[in-house]
């Protein structure tokens, strides 16, 4: 976590949907908006039947906060029209393409391509799995703007979505300028008594930022909560630790920008073997498509959507990268179900078994430490001063 100079606020302003949408989108009078949710059976949106299932907490927030909010004041206050709620079938993975079928609250079966994307100006997607990549691709095609808020919970609502995104954007820009046009970044890890280093080539590219602002007429999709600086690596080599969902730990070998094998450390051997089998069956699933640094002073929420935006964390993603400006599109995967973008988050609450000993960048002919032991370095703190 950051030093005492950069402390997480003890309190946040109350969540205000009107303020959030006004800040993020600066919507124009008459713009049409809608809310999307994902369900195992999209027909459960008919007559709001899904609300009877207590397990669907994310979808209930979508209904109670966003759908009802738009229809009970926020829509009128911002001059927005529409406000409809639609459901689509859960994709089963992060950033997988959605089926074209979408269902409205009357049970009518509609089409994303014909009935939703061409007819709305602002689309809000509150879902189980991230839909940022497919929605970004569709936004560029159809001209809408939007926001994805997968995994929404109470902590996120009261902290990551309650902040001033003008301030988030300014903070992200300070860090972006301090990291942009790097030649490479190296991450030193320690896990299970073993040390390893991942080298990521960045090719002096302009760093990008996820800052939560999606204004004007440029088609785009904001990922909320926002607050990160990221790169699409041009290459990678070395080793990186991974903690799988079931707690299994391994060190993955990286060559020519992709995971190519590895060493099992602990947990379920079958989980590790299945991952290696997928890498052999569909090699692009192991391609490193993102390096991201959190920029915000937020509490951990237990959901990567917010936790990867916390200052002092770092994440490396595998798979699909077209929504970030990368080249890896769904058609390049051997199997459709594998065309995901999967963030591997290194954070003290999520990966306590893995120590990020040091992160350093090489830029302008010199090495600069940017993180140590999940804390921003003096260099980053000076950027934010």
How far apart are the C-alpha atoms of 96 and 262, rounded to whole Å? 26
Share of the chain above pLDDT 70, in %: 99
In which residue are the tokens 């052999």 written? 280
Q: Count of alpha carbons within 13 Å of 302, Cβ hemisphere only? A: 5
- Model pLDDT for residues 57-104, shown as the tens digit of each residue: 999 999 999 999 999 999 999 999 999 999 999 999 999 999 999 999
pLDDT band at 114 (very low <50, low <70, confident <90, very high): very high
Region 136-163 average pLDDT: 97
- Measured distance CA(75)–CA(152) in Å, rounded: 21
Confidence of residue 1 (pLDDT cuts 50, 70, 90): very low
- Tell me the pLDDT of the chain averaged across its residues: 96
Residue 4 pLDDT > 50: no
- Residue of 115, 86, 131, 317 whose CA lies nearest to 222: 131
Q: d(Cα 17, Cα 286) in Å, to the nearest integer?
A: 38
Cβ contacts of 101 within 8 Å, gap of 6 or more: 42, 88, 89, 109, 110, 111, 112
Structure confidence by residue, pLDDT tens digits, 259-291: 999 999 999 999 999 999 999 999 999 999 999
Q: Answer whether 0.85 is exceeded by the pTM.
A: yes
């Amino acid at each position: 976590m950051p030093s005492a100079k950069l402390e997480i606020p003890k309190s946040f302003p109350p969540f205000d949907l009107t303020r959030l949408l006004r800040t993020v989108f600066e919507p124009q009078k008459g713009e049409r908006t809608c809310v999307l949710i994902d369900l195992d059976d999209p027909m459960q949106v008919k007559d709001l039947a899904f609300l009877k299932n207590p397990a669907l907490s994310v979808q209930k927030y979508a209904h109670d906060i966003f759908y009802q909010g738009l229809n009970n004041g926020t829509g009128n206050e911002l001059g927005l029209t529409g406000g409809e709620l639609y459901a689509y079938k859960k994709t089963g993975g992060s950033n997988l393409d959605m089926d074209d079928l979408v269902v409205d609250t009357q049970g009518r079966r509609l089409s994303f391509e014909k009935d939703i994307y061409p007819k709305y100006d602002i689309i809000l997607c509150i879902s189980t799995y991230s839909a940022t990549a497919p929605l970004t691709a569709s936004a560029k095609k159809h001209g809408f703007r939007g926001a994805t808020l997968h995994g929404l919970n109470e902590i996120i609502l009261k902290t990551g979505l309650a902040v001033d995104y003008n301030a988030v954007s300014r903070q992200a820009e300070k860090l972006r300028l301090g990291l942009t046009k790097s030649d490479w970044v190296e991450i030193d890890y320690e896990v299970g008594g073993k040390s390893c280093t991942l080298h990521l080539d960045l090719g002096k590219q302009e760093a990008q930022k996820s800052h939560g602002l999606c204004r004007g007429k440029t088609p785009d999709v904001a990922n909320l909560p926002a607050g990160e600086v990221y790169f699409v690596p041009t290459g990678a080599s070395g080793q990186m630790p991974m903690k799988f969902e079931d707690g299994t730990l391994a060190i993955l070998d990286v060559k020519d920008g992709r995971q190519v094998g590895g060493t099992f450390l602990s947990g379920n051997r079958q989980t590790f073997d299945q991952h290696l089998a997928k890498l052999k069956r569909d090699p692009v699933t192991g391609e490193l498509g993102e390096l991201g640094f959190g920029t915000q002073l937020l509490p951990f929420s237990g959901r990567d959507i917010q936790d990867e935006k916390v200052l002092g964390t770092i994440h490396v993603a595998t798979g699909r990268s077209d929504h970030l400006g990368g080249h890896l599109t769904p058609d390049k995967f051997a199997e459709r179900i594998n065309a995901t973008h999967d963030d591997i988050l290194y954070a003290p609450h999520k990966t306590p078994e893995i120590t990020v000993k040091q992160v350093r960048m090489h830029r302008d002919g010199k090495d600069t430490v940017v993180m140590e032991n999940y804390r921003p370095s003096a260099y980053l703190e000076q950027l934010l001063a």
